[in-house]
Structure 1
């Protein structure tokens, strides 16, 4: 497990310069608002032990070439717990970020709300969340790092509510801390790795790699603050080919093992990128790539299918991505390549219908421009949900259909030998889709 280290040590590894914020204390009374016996003495001991006056250190730091507001927990100060003064510092830091127009990076290691301040500490979670929401409304991006441990309200508010969430390897991450949950409840679910598998964390990052990862990520997030929401350009195809001469040929091309998939397009299209992971509801779909990348000095959000049936988690992750792009006012590129939505019992139990509906709505409601390129299979509603109305293009290797030709043949109760004929009647080839007005152009012709 990565050792958490002190707040100052962590700041020194991340920032070439750091200017700490100074906030007036808001707490009053002997032994805090509850008059908790011995509380003043505990705080004095914590100050002497850590050299800090509270459980967070806040300021503006230079990360790589860009400035960001840092909120860094000092776990040695009463377990990084949150009291009234802590809450005021965090709220004030979000307000400074709005004024400075810079991202927020919170590095959390906390046991939650401070017991000795009772409800006065607990209500700080509402104040912190409100400050984060106001910053979000102003387009200020927020990335959180869940260190060891991140539990209780600080996981459920500041950390899990961030736009992007990183985690330290083997860190304890959970709403219920080890001392308050059933002693028998242990294991992967309460760790960084478990929360990643459950779609609640975007990436697990060793501390040795954290400076590099955050430098790159802060760079991308600063680009979002400067990017104008002009439409993303249509990607070029990795290869050129003649158009298919039949519907059957079109479907075979889109399913070919050597077909360039989404990663090949993204590698050519973006200079660098950060992929987010998970639907924040308990699952990951590795067949849906979502994230933010840089193209010629602009930030571009992307959501890309990779040739597999899209699960409810995939649709929800794409919906999350479109929502993030909307908040940050950056354009979106979507790449369509799926035989369709997953239709097994597990997908139905996980809410495949509502998940697709959510993505349809997010695309329909988006005010930022969305550009779509069909790079492989365009299988029915599972593909259409990711397609931008009136801003969709297709490659020579793609097709789009109301349903796959094999399924259409079965629905029509026709012999399987008639699949190619049905494919032709569906008019699913790129040139058919252009003539029908579904796509604006074809990419990859000689």
Structure 2
């Protein structure tokens, strides 16, 4: 179980300063909208214990000198539960972020909807959902920090609805709270670490590192974005290939620089975005937002790592590209895959639909998208992440409608014909440039 900090303690942990806003005034009966016997007394005891008059505190704050709207749940007040008056405060916090066009930071610790207010409490989730939609339409970022616990409707709206989701180690995270889970439930599935592995959380961050991590996210998502993104320089001095088969061999060289090396050289800091939010992750797809040297602004990145890309990888890529587009952040994609995964598991996971989603995200982006082909460019699984008219290539790469070996098989040629087939496919970087497929060939800096 994670350490349980009060709302005020966690606010002090992550902000430079905080100005609480007065909550909206709502006259209520002593025992609430349902006249639940003893509810008023329970509220009074919670107020005495916590010093708060509701389960949500909100206002404005600065994080590393940057303004943001902030809301924090007080779990000590009736389990951080959502009721009508806490719904008023959540709505006000979202509206504050939207009207001032500043990031919203949500510090979530809740057990769900308040039973003593029945369906009145549950309908607060609809209010939060509407505010979330309006915030997205306004292009304002939302960062959530999941404390212990983050369950029920608070997780399913405020938490899971954020653009970036951070969690404290060991926090309970899940729609089902500990008292209502099936008796045979795997407890790991309801932890921050379990949700990270399933692609529902972007990072698990220790309390001592939370301020720095949040500072970088607020800086990345609220700072001025650069315009067009220059492709990274090549990281090897490999010469242009003499033949098509040479191009294939160079791209498949295990010693060739991979995405991790390019990202480390290109960015001073990288903030990962993990998972497709549908229960899947792909370790062969690195996604996130990076900060460029010298205050060059934030750039979203989507990078294949040389493996066959899984459906979850394409869905994660599409999620990140659409987020960047909504927030006005340019995108860099690094293409390096022998092709999309095509095993039975990938087909059941919707490989075709996931690839289509990635194609659509790139095609629909209004922000600049720059692509660098850094290795293998295998068929549509690679092309899905390539920017039309703004794709570049390194000398140790190739792009092809299909890899030479399966191409030879389809053409009913013997395996030894693969090198000749590679030549016919015109897949070398210089061929791609001549054909107008790429914009240029990058060289070492």
With the shorter chain as reference, the TM-score category is over 0.9
Check the 8 A contact 1:273/1:294 in 2, yes or no: yes
* Aligned positions, number: 443
1:347 corresponds to 2:346? yes
Question: What is the rounded CA distance, in whole Å, between the counterparts of 2:171 and 2:14 in structure 1?
Answer: 19
Supply the RMSD in Å over aligned alpha carbons. 1.3
Residue of structure 1 equivalent to 2:225: 227
1:238 corresponds to 2:229? no
Check the 8 A contact 1:374/1:395 in 2, yes or no: yes
Check the 8 A contact 1:398/1:429 in 2, yes or no: yes
Residue of structure 1 equivalent to 2:298: 299
1:277 corresponds to 2:274? yes
> What does the per-residue CA deviation read over 1:180-235, in whole Å, with 9 as the maximum and x for residues that have no partner?
23223242111111111111111111222211211111111222xx326x221111
Note the residue ranges of structure 1 that are not aligned, 5 or more in a row: none
1:36–1:403: structure 2 CA closer, same or farther, 3 Å change rule?
same
> What does the per-residue CA deviation read over 1:149-190, in whole Å, with 9 as the maximum and x for residues that have no partner?
111101111100110111111211111112223223242111
Question: What is the rounded CA distance, in whole Å, between the counterparts of 1:131 and 1:115 in structure 2?
Answer: 23
Check the 8 A contact 1:374/1:394 in 2, yes or no: yes
Check the 8 A contact 2:233/2:444 in 1, yes or no: no
Give the SS at the match of 1:303.
strand
1:436 corresponds to 2:442? no
Aligned ranges for residues 163-178 of structure 1 at < 5 Å? 163-178=163-178
Question: What is the rounded CA distance, in whole Å, between the counterparts of 1:330 and 1:393 in structure 2?
Answer: 20
Residue of structure 2 equivalent to 1:369: 368
Check the 8 A contact 2:371/2:390 in 1, yes or no: yes
Check the 8 A contact 2:236/2:256 in 1, yes or no: no
1:159 corresponds to 2:156? no
Residue of structure 2 equivalent to 1:37: 37
> What does the per-residue CA deviation read over 1:341-379, in whole Å, with 9 as the maximum and x for residues that have no partner?
001111111111111011111111222121111000000
Check the 8 A contact 2:16/2:65 in 1, yes or no: no
Superposition deviation, residue 399 in structure 1: 0.3
Question: What is the rounded CA distance, in whole Å, between the counterparts of 1:384 and 1:89 in structure 2?
Answer: 46
Question: What is the rounded CA distance, in whole Å, between the counterparts of 1:175 and 1:22 in structure 2?
Answer: 30
Question: What is the rounded CA distance, in whole Å, between the counterparts of 1:382 and 1:239 in structure 2?
Answer: 24
Check the 8 A contact 1:337/1:378 in 2, yes or no: yes
Superposition deviation, residue 312 in structure 1: 0.3
TM-score by length of 2: 0.97
Question: What is the rounded CA distance, in whole Å, between the counterparts of 1:337 and 1:185 in structure 2?
Answer: 39
Residue of structure 2 equivalent to 1:412: 411
Superposition deviation, residue 27 in structure 1: 4.7
1:388 corresponds to 2:387? yes
Check the 8 A contact 2:239/2:396 in 1, yes or no: no
